Amino acid sequence: MTLTGWSMILLFTVLIIALAKPAGDWMYALYARKEMPLGFLERGFYKLAGIDPKAEQSWVGYAVSLMVFNVGGIALLFAILKLQGVLPMNPQGFGGMETLLAFNTAVSFVTNTNWQNYGGESSLSNLSQMAGLTVQNFLSAAVGIAVAFAFIRGFARKQASGIGNFWVDVTRATLYLLLPLSIVLALAYVVMGVPQTFGPSVVATTVEGAKQTIAVGPVASQLAIKMLGTNGGGFFNANSAHPFENPTALSNFLQMITIFVLGAGLTLTFGKAVGNIRQGWAILAAMMLLFLVGVAVAYGAEAAGNPIHHALGVAGGNMEGKEVRFGIAATALFAVITTATSCGAVIGMHDSFTAIGGLVPMFNMQLGELVVGGVGSGLYAVLIYCILAVFIAGLMVGRTPEYVGKKIESREMKLAVIAIAVPPLAILGLTAVACVTGAGLAGPLAKGAHGFSEILYAFTSGAANNGSAFGGLSGNTPFYNLLLALDMFVGRFGVILPVLAIAGGLAAKRRVPEGPGSFPTTGLLWIGLLAAIIVIVGGLTFLPALALGPIADQAQVAAGILL
């Protein structure tokens, strides 16, 4: 580890904390439905769609609207991918995508997962990339923010029957947040050297005189929302390791910032909405604590290198699978950032990390993608753990648990447990299926503990709606396309629906004044308790599987065992 590496990590942390407040304030204005400069345009959309923006929805109505919107999005994206061979804006002449792969891709992008079993530059037209994938990058991120807004209203409102209007929340998040920021970021990336064109591939002549086809396309526009919306699906197969998606150290640092900034800001939106900004800062502090521990472990493991190589006289850190332009520190930091959120973009191959270095990204996702997390999804995931933590704290002080003035009772606890339990059930259940079937075992490139890690990582990434891959799994098979699509769908909506149900119940409750027996939820004790509950629940759930995968892998490497 180097001083330069740690300085970059410290600078990143400081900037995220500094940007959280203005980002949180802006999103609070959207949450509170304050009038915006383009209000006439917003009202025009509602009129065209026949929506009454003042109408409130119960949690059931909100959930129905959300599911109709997302299932419709899957059907539309599936149709675009299947029919791209006869649709315009296809200068390369690509045919329609194979049916199961198209289904997997449609579910992937609508659920904000962006798992990619294909190479974008070699299989997708410009229309599919923009009207298909990029549109869903905006909409899936907006859905996450909308659910976060609805959950915040559950805590902030006093005996209300509604939790907002899904169509209004999605429209405002897209129109006033994601779209303008993406335009600015896309222009910045173009200045840095990222292509943005509808033209065909470029044929270049190499210094040896050979011809080389260089793929280009509308890259900058997809890159901007890919990072800002914690989507992660790259225009190119190499994702952000490709120099056209990530040309400079500055573009790399900007991408890391944009992955984190909205998720961090939403914590302060929550604090402002419930009338106590310290609540938001406490949640952000717990998130950043877990993040820094993860960075320290991953960076330390990669900088230490491989003991088998050291025994052979090859000193230094583990450069296998790293982005050589940026080095070990930046690659390890990027890996932790992208898996602490639901982004999944990569600049290095996680399959080539050391066993412990690869464990950190996997464990980040298994915690529930709440170490800042995806836009919206990170906040509502961590609030579920706040409910669990305050319930445990309530037992300690001997009174009914409460959080930000709302009593946490049996209904909330049951739904919170469902929301916490669904992703592990999908991850571990489907991993088990893959490990006892021929089609599943045909996927991993490696054998033994590392091969198991490749399977476990894939289903962890799917259920956590992350989309990154270890890199050693052959996922474009009927078996994995179907099971990963199920994994992604359950991981997304199996959490959202209980969250909306909790929001509806909390919104109907009256506020409870804080008393002498109330457990404080803004101090260091609360931050430590919340972080500990998150780690303990994740650890107890996944420790046996991790012991069979990366932990066993590390033990084999330490013993000098090669497979």
H helical segments located in 305-325: 307-311
Strands of 196-278 (E only): list them: 202-205, 211-214
- pLDDT of 335 strictly over 70: yes
Q: How confident is the model at residue 563 (pLDDT cuts 50, 70, 90)?
A: low
> Among all chains, which residue has been given the structure tokens 């064109």?
197
> Among all chains, which residue has been given the structure tokens 């994994």?
487
More confident residue, 205 or 505: 505
Give kind and range of the element (H or E) at residue 286: helix 277-304
* Mean pLDDT confidence for 504-531: 89
Q: Is 214 strand, coil or helix?
A: strand
Q: Is 444 strand, coil or helix?
A: strand
- pLDDT of 208 strictly over 90: no
Given this model, what pLDDT does residue 83 score? 95
Query: Do 263 and 372 meet the contact criterion of CB atoms below 8 Å apart?
Result: yes
Give kind and range of the element (H or E) at residue 56: none
Beta-bridged to residue 202, according to DSSP, are 214
Q: Indicate yes or no: pTM above 0.75.
A: yes
Measured torsion, CA atoms of residues 126, 132, 137, 140, in degrees rounded to the nearest 10: 180
Residue type, 161: S
Nearest residue to 104 (alpha-carbon basis) of 549, 461, 496: 461
Cα 470 to Cα 455: distance, rounded to the nearest angstrom: 9
* Mean pLDDT confidence for 335-359: 93
Nearest residue to 520 (alpha-carbon basis) of 352, 390, 350, 358: 390
Mean pLDDT check: name the lowest of 28-32, 69-73, 183-187, 236-240.
236-240
Cα 30 to Cα 523: distance, rounded to the nearest angstrom: 28
Q: Other C-beta atoms within 10 Å of 203: how many?
A: 9
Query: Do 466 and 491 meet the contact criterion of CB atoms below 8 Å apart?
Result: no
Q: How confident is the model at residue 491 (pLDDT cuts 50, 70, 90)?
A: very high
* Mean pLDDT confidence for 62-86: 97
- pLDDT of 66 strictly over 70: yes
Cα 38 to Cα 41: distance, rounded to the nearest angstrom: 5
* Mean pLDDT confidence for 342-347: 92
Given this model, what pLDDT does residue 148 score? 97
